[in-house]
Structure 1
Amino acid sequence: MVLDLVINHTSDEHPWFQDLLKNPKTSKYREYYILKQGENGQPPTNWRSVFGGSVWEPLQNTDEYYFHSFGVKQPDLNWENKEVRNELYKMVNYWLDKGIAGFRVDAITFIKKDQNYENLPADGVDGLGKCTKKARNQPGIEDFLHELNEETFSKYNCVTIGEAPGVPYEQYGDFIGENGYFSMIFDFRYADLDVASGSEWFRRTHWDVLELKKLIFTSQKEIQKAGWGANFLENHDQNRSISKYIKEKENRNFFSASMLGALFFYLRGTPFIYQGQEIGMTNFERTSIEEFDDISSIDQYYRAIEEGFSEEESLHFINLRSRDNSRTPFHWSSKEFGGFSKVEPWLGMNDNFKTINVEQQEHNPDSILNFYRKMIQVRQSSVASECLIYGEIEPILEEHPTIVAYKRKLGREETVCCFNFSDTIEKVDLEYDGYEILLDNYNEKKDTCSQLVCTLKPYQALILFKKEVGYNE
């Protein structure tokens, strides 16, 4: 079991913070949080939180403010206080002593703040500046991360996955190298290619396959130099992948969903599958901002309006990128509420649960769900398993406008992975004489390939393997 470890902040309902609210001047937990005096009724700085609005919230019955990088109900802990750090290490070790396998470490690059607490140049009509410039991956964070690792993780045989946005590639060795802070980290650069900034979702960008390919392969090369990666297609902070990466709605089908899944699943690193991805769940279409639950989406809607977009445009942006897209109840069946519950869930269902659900895919050999099972089998227990798990990665066809392709190499073994990102047939020069077909989402009845030209059908995924590359058999 891997637990989610949140040590940048607590809830405002945590006993520490509750004691602070009851005894704002005398509580021992004053130093556990970040408190600052305001000036002339204004917050200490003009930093904008990740979820919108000021990072500062008035502390009840005082002239002080508390700091929150994220929501107002998530006050940040003061990592400058050694006592706080020791309390956190004690908690981490408690769970590791229980025998858990490790942690996904939440928002860990936010634990160090610029201690000058100076105003930022405003980057929006709200007069605020993104707090990530002063409260994420700041100089000195390496001391905290080294201490965290020394006092907890390194004492156990555990796995740690850092949610570490904002880390420059040149620092990856410190994070995931031989003596790195974590076993692996998530890289968000390719996941956020459709927006100008991860927290400014209304600023849309137009991207193409070449750009996506460059981001993926740059990430893979840098991670390979440093250590190990955590590859993902979706997570709880992203919208649904098929709705993001497959731009035309009519092309969102079994072939494009399975192609996307295989593309990310066989990259070098540990693949993560997010619930709903394995059955091809899609984005929803809300007609009113009142239908949203995610505080970040609600903020982005009103901020987009402030920036000059219409209500219709703002709602369109949020429908495309809202985190609620990946948080809707899971589709188990076509029954009421998708078989998720017998009462109305907290968040509106996507209407397509009647056609996209586990019940309909479970016994269909050509379903997305069963393709994912094949992907797992190929990686974990096929003749190419060692190569696909431990092999080096080498991008190929890097300049092709619609095909993403790479090789995985281990000794004399080689796996070739090709993915057509278009709705047309594509031909490429690719010698694969004598390679075994391990996986094909078109399920063609061939065991080996003898052609010198590879023809890929629309959204085809093709995984090929040869055990003795470069040697006569």
Structure 2
Amino acid sequence: MEKKGNKHWWDQEVIYQVYPRSFQDTNNDGIGDLRGIINHLAYLQKLGVTMIWISPIYKSPMVDMGYDIADYQAIDPQFGTMKDFDELLEKAHARKIKIIMDLVINHTSDQHDWFQQALISPDNPYRKYYIFKTTKDGKRPNNWRSIFGGSVWTEVKGEPGTYYFHTFAAQQPDLNWENPTLRQEIYKMINWWLEKGIAGFRIDAITHLKKDLDWANIPADGIDGLAAVVKKGQNRPGLNLFLDELKHETFDKYQALTIGEAYGVPEKDLGRFIGPTGYFSMIFDFSYMNIEVKSADEWYRGKTDWDISELKKTLFESQKAISQAQGWSANVLENHDQPRVLSKLIKNPTERTPDAAKALATMYYFLPGTPFIYQGQELGMKNFKRQSIIEFNDVSSINNYKMATAEGYSPTEALEIVNAKSRDNARTPMQWNAEEFGGFSKVKPWLEMGNDRTGINVSAEEKQADSVLNYYRKMGRLRSDSVWQQVFSTGSLAEIKNVPANVIAYKRLLGKKQILILVNLSNSKQIVSCSAQNVILNSQPQLVIDGHQVSLQPYQAVLLT
């Protein structure tokens, strides 16, 4: 990708996340592939998408669905070939659609050649690419708990008392970022992809690179006698040195777009991450994405009793913090690690309607920053419901189920928790039509289809003027409209507070132009006082304006000037 003159060249982008395994299968093996993305570029362009974020397609044994990389510079055969990727890049660019990749540099697969070399002997130079510890008593070096459950330490076969470290699954050994030789290898790989022509990266688990080097035990926080690794291996002092060097050696050279998956960043540090000279272009804010659980990683610990007022407060506090840091926001409702927003934020199952899906879309899409759409979100796709833990694929779901039952939850209760929060919810195949396998494939998919999908597919929704899909298309056209584009991309934000508790209201302002966004997230009519009269977008057919009062029907959203 050629260098760009505007530092914030991404301020008018609309990004669509493709989970390739579940997007479109073109060779009838039940697994989506790169040709499936190529075949739907026109669909994405019509949606107003200007950039595609592709979840991992690197060579991988798929223990964590591609987030365990065995070769950073090879495409996994189940997705296609590097030739297919180059064709995707070329055809996307022809439609003025950029491509960003998923970058996983906290860990690799245990099948990566580096790790396989490291296992040969303690003296092998690749052993210093990872974190190995040998203890005198043969016991694990400390009591830290992996994010996926169990100890962060796995014993090396044939070397009693020697362990390797993994923040996530045992098949995902952490890279040793203290080793400058390893870091240079990573930078070389990143620049290879940027030279190829991609526009940037979404960067996975980036706040885990630095660990506390005392490797000390800490007070247990569970009945397993272990303590969460995030207390010693997330946002630790010294992380800034790695992130500064990473940026300088790679991203800065290409003005690449970078989106950090940065769990746990304190508000006071936001400027360092996304300020004018920050490590990244933007980071995801999970404060409202995880509003329904007590712990983002260990969600077996239970749900919160949140309401719309709390959602509203969290949403605007996030925007305020990012603005004060002079940063840029990555606005997102769903991704590959989150349940479907319609099932998550609409508590009553009977109210998970197209109207509710459009209201939620309006709520986030016009906030300052870059909107992200996760595949199927634009259709109003919902969570599945599985009857047994054996029906789940996601390693995190299976581990959370095990930990929940160990903590005293009944199997029924544990299954309910997993059904609600499982990452598999977002990974069910894309629903292109109403066929048995949703037009995703002609054979049984790698993961069962969703089981609440009547009328929720591209083919049906394209024919309905008031569908969720066509509403997303309208939002895309409005956001790129020459009259309003600058208001949305660079205008300021003002929360409107004198509204009913279940209404989210804000203005976008630029010079003399201003747009009022009103979203009713309740099942009853809500009255809002305002002077705006001109409707530029309405999620429902009618809107009642009586003088200076707007009557919002249940789950109605409007934009007014």
Measured against the shorter chain, the TM-score band is: over 0.9
Deviation at 1:100, TM superposition (A): 1.3
Q: Which moved more, 1:38-47 or 1:371-380?
A: 38-47
* Cα offsets for 1:1-59 (capped at 9, x unmatched): 111111111111111011122x1323211100011124544311111111111111111
How far has the Cα of 1:184 moved from its partner? 0.7
Residues in 2 aligned to 1:42 and 1:349: alpha-carbon distance in whole angstroms: 44
Amino acid at match of 2:308: V
Asked whether 1:90 is paired with 2:188, we answer: yes
Which amino acid is 1:31 matched to?
A: K
C-alpha deviation, 1:436, in angstroms: 2.1
Out of 400, 423, 440, the position equivalent to 1:323 is: 423
Equivalence for 1:292 = 392
Aligned equivalent of 2:230: 132
Partner in structure 1 of residue 243 of structure 2: 145
Please state whether the residue corresponding to 2:255 is helix, strand or coil: coil
Scaled by the length of structure 2, the TM-score of the pair is 0.80
Q: Give the Cα separation in 2 of the matches to 1:383 and 1:254.
A: 28
- The runs of 5 or more residues in structure 1 that have no matched partner are 466-473
Deviation at 1:260, TM superposition (A): 0.3
Contact kept, 8 Å, 1:239 with 1:326, in 2: the verdict is yes
Separation in 1, partners of 2:452, 2:308:
27
Aligned positions of 1:334-349 closer than 5 A: 334-349=434-449
In structure 2, what is the equivalent of residue 245 of structure 1?
A: 345
Question: 1:447-473 CA distances to partner (integer Å, 9 max, x unpaired)?
Answer: xx67311211100111112xxxxxxxx
For these two proteins, the number of residue pairs brought into alignment is 460
- Long gaps (5+) in structure 2: 1-98
- Deviation of the 1:268 alpha carbon: 0.8
Q: Deviations over 1:159-212 (max 9, x none)?
A: 111111110111111111111111111011111111111012122111001111
Any conservation in 2 of the 1:121–1:129 contact (CA below 8 Å)?
yes
Contact kept? 1:397, 1:403, Cα under 8 Å: no
Deviations 1:363-416 (A, max 9, x none): 211111000000111111152221112111111126732111111111111111
Deviations 1:294-319 (A, max 9, x none): 11111111111111111100000000
Match of 1:61 among 155, 158, 165: 158
Alignment of structure 1 residues 94-173 onto 2, 5 Å: 94-173=192-271
1:410 lines up with 2:507 in the alignment: no
Moved more, 396-405 or 187-196: 396-405
1:52 and 2:152 equivalent? no
- TM-score (norm: length of structure 1): 0.95
Looking at structure 2, the residues matched to 181 and 196 of structure 1 have their Cα atoms a distance apart, in angstroms, of: 28
SS, match of residue 415 in structure 1: strand
> 1:261 maps to what in 2?
361
2:130 corresponds to 1:30? no
Q: Give the alignment partner of residue 9 of structure 1, picking from 107, 112, 124.
A: 107
Q: 1:180 aligns with which of 272, 278, 298?
A: 278
Counterpart of 2:17 in structure 1 is none
Alignment CA distance shift 1:39-1:436 (3 Å): farther
Check whether the contact 2:382–2:453 (CA below 8 A) recurs between aligned residues. Answer: no
Instruction: Tell me, in whole angstroms, the C-alpha distance in 1 between the residues paired with 2:431 and 2:462.
Output: 12
Residues 311-340 of structure 1: CA deviation (Å, up to 9, x unaligned) = 100000000100010011111111121111
Counterpart position of 2:315:
216
Match of 1:59, as an amino acid? V
1:439 is matched with 537
| 1:89-143 CA-partner distances (Å, limit 9, x unpaired) | 1111111122211111111100000111111211111111110111011011011
Match of 1:389 in 2: 489
For residue 207 of structure 1, what is the aligned residue in structure 2?
306
Moved over 4 A (4+): none
Among candidates 474, 494, 501, match of residue 374 of structure 1: 474
Deviation at 1:244, TM superposition (A): 0.4
One-letter code of the match for 2:547? Q
Contact 1:210–1:400 (CA under 8 A) maintained in structure 2: no
Q: Which amino acid aligns with 2:424?
A: D
Q: Aligned with 1:199: secondary structure?
A: coil
| Secondary structure, aligned partner of 2:437 | helix
Contact in 1 for aligned 2:500/2:526 (Cα 8 Å) = no
Indicate the residue corresponding to 1:469 in structure 2: none
Q: Secondary structure at the match of 1:400?
A: coil
Deviates more, 1:376-385 or 1:84-93: 376-385
381-390 or 63-72, which moves further after superposition? 381-390
Counterpart pick for 2:140 among 43, 47, 51: 43
Tell me the equivalent position of 2:556.
460
| Bigger relative CO (Cα 8 Å, ≥ 6 apart) | 2
Question: 2:334·2:373 contact (CA, 8 Å) conserved in 1?
Answer: yes
Q: Is the 8 A contact 1:335 1:354 kept in 2?
A: no
**Counterpart of 2:51?**
none
Query: Take 1:436 and 1:42, find their aligned partners in 2: how far apart are those partners?
Result: 70
Please give the secondary structure, in 2, of the residue aligned with 1:336: coil
Matches within 5 A, 1:278-289: 278-289=378-389
- Equivalent pair of 1:398/1:404 in contact (CA under 8 Å): no
Contact 2:455 2:461 in 1 (8 A): no
SS of the counterpart of 1:351? coil
Matched, 1:365 2:465: yes
1:444 CA drift (Å): 2.4
Q: Which residue of 1 aligns with 2:410?
A: 310
What are the superposed Cα offsets for residues 201-241 of structure 1, whole Å, 9 maximum, x if unpaired? 12211100111111110100111122101010000110000
Output the amino acid matched with 2:148: F
Q: Distance in 2 between matches of 1:395 and 1:440?
A: 20
- 2:481 is aligned with what amino acid? S
- Structure 2 contact 543–550 (Cα < 8 Å) conserved: no
Partners of 1:386 and 1:276 in 2: how far apart?
A: 28
Contact 1:210 1:399 in 2 (8 A): no
**Conserved? CA contact 2:432–2:459, under 8 Å:** yes
Give the Cα separation in 2 of the matches to 1:398 and 1:310.
44
Q: Which moves more between the two structures, 248-257 or 436-445?
A: 436-445
CA deviation digits over 1:417-460, x for unaligned, max 9?
Answer: 1100100001122232xx421111113279xx673112111001
Secondary structure class of the residue paired with 1:118: coil
Is the 1:160–1:182 contact (alpha carbons within 8 Å) kept by the matching residues of 2?
Answer: yes
Percentage identity across aligned positions?
Answer: 50
Contact 1:422 1:459 in 2 (8 A): yes
